[in-house]
Amino acid sequence: MSRPDVDTLLSDFRTDLAAASTPEALEDVRRAHTGKKSPLKLALRSLKDLAPDERKAFAQKVNETQKLVETELADARERVQAQALAAQLQAEWQDLSLPGVGVPRGAIHPVTETEREAMDVLRRLGFEVVEGPEVEGPFYNFDALNIPEHHPARDLQDTFWLNGGLLLRSHTTTVQARILEQKPELPLRVAAMGRVYRNEAVDATHLAMFHQFEGIWVDEGLTFAHLKGVLAYIARALFGEERRVRFKPKFYPYTEPSVGVDVACKVCDGEGCQACHGAGWVTILGAGMIHPKVFMQFGFDPEKVSGIAFGLGTTRMAAQRTGVTRIRGLYEPELRVLRTLQRGQ
């Protein structure tokens, strides 16, 4: 049997290696020239057919050639990988110095912003935030607040009643009742905010769901003067010192005496006050001294303890602060309105 020409095998390997330009082609060359059935492996098996004095020199040359093949394969692998990476980078290259696609910037919703600012104002007066459920029982929504069974607020056309005698709270004053039930230590200054629900016709200034902000201050020696001072401070802190504020008598079953607070309409021109439909004033909150019957309901002595309570119409306040003429627009997913409000912030 003739001895294989190792130099020819190396030349054939280098020819195949030079033609391999991808990792896959390089792997084919490796298997063809270093695998179990490769020419170099077969050359080693032919040692038994050589003369004893030729075997050593031939085996040494085959081993040296095999090491050379492995070294050149490793070098070629690095070269091909570098070329593949360069090709990928070229294909995926992007100029990061170019301006990107602008993402529309969001903004805090006016109702949320109004709630946060109102709470910031109350914190200066020592109030803290408490929470209560939106699904309530009639005791906390009506009975505990001196609202009798014959009161029209309990009718189906005014309140959303649920199965099991429950209802959707019609005011955040329910939280006031829950706090007083716990008989906390005085002085007590707490505020609650959130959604409330009333079964009424929806128009430009009324919604079946809106937001309120409730606050109570209970202590010994509080008077109507404290109430007016707190309300005037809240109104001017939220709407500005230059905004006119007025008080007017009101009736609420859970306060006595009761008062409403109006602020001058924001959007007024020669054709009238658009944001409050020509009235010139808009009511932002109702308040009063906590009714003695409410105190007695929870075991407080109205001869020793007095308190002030106030509820802010957060939705209406947000509309006034932003100049929205239809409060329904604050809750509708209307991008034109929301973008306008965003630019105003």
pLDDT tens per residue across span 251-302: 888 899 999 988 887 655 444 455 565 667 888 889 999 999 999 999 999 9
Question: So what's the pLDDT on residue 156?
Answer: 56
Tell me what the pLDDT averaged over the chain comes to.
82
Residue the block writes with tokens 């006034």: 320
Residue in 1, 238, 252 with CA at minimum distance from that of residue 122: 238
Average pLDDT over residues 47-72: 77
pLDDT given at position 169? 92
pLDDT at 154 over 70: no
What lies within 8 Å, CB to CB, of 169 at 6+ separation is 132, 133, 134, 135, 136, 140, 141, 196, 197
Mean pLDDT: which of 27-41, 219-233, 267-281, 315-329 is highest? 219-233
Query: Which CATH number applies to 110-343?
Result: 3.30.930.10
Helix residue ranges per DSSP H, 5-109: 6-19, 23-34, 39-45, 52-92
Contact 283, 260 (CB under 8 A): yes
Q: What is the mean pLDDT of residues 207-217?
A: 88
Longest dimension (CA), the chain: 127
pLDDT digits (tens, 9 = 90+) for 169-195: 988 888 989 999 998 888 999 999 999
Residues 216-221 have a mean pLDDT of: 94
Q: Which residues contact 9 (CB under 8 A, 6 or more apart)?
A: 33, 39, 40, 43, 65
The one-letter amino acid at 274:
Q
Instruction: Report the pLDDT averaged over residues 133-140.
Output: 91
Residue 121 identity: V
Long-range contacts from 243-250, C-beta under 8 angstroms, 24+ separation: 246/281, 250/286, 250/288
Cα 268 to chain center, whole Å?
35
Q: Can you give the pTM of this predicted structure?
A: 0.63
- What's the confidence (pLDDT) of residue 289? 94
* Domain locations along the chain: 6-92, 110-343
Alpha helices, H only, 172-269? 173-181, 224-239
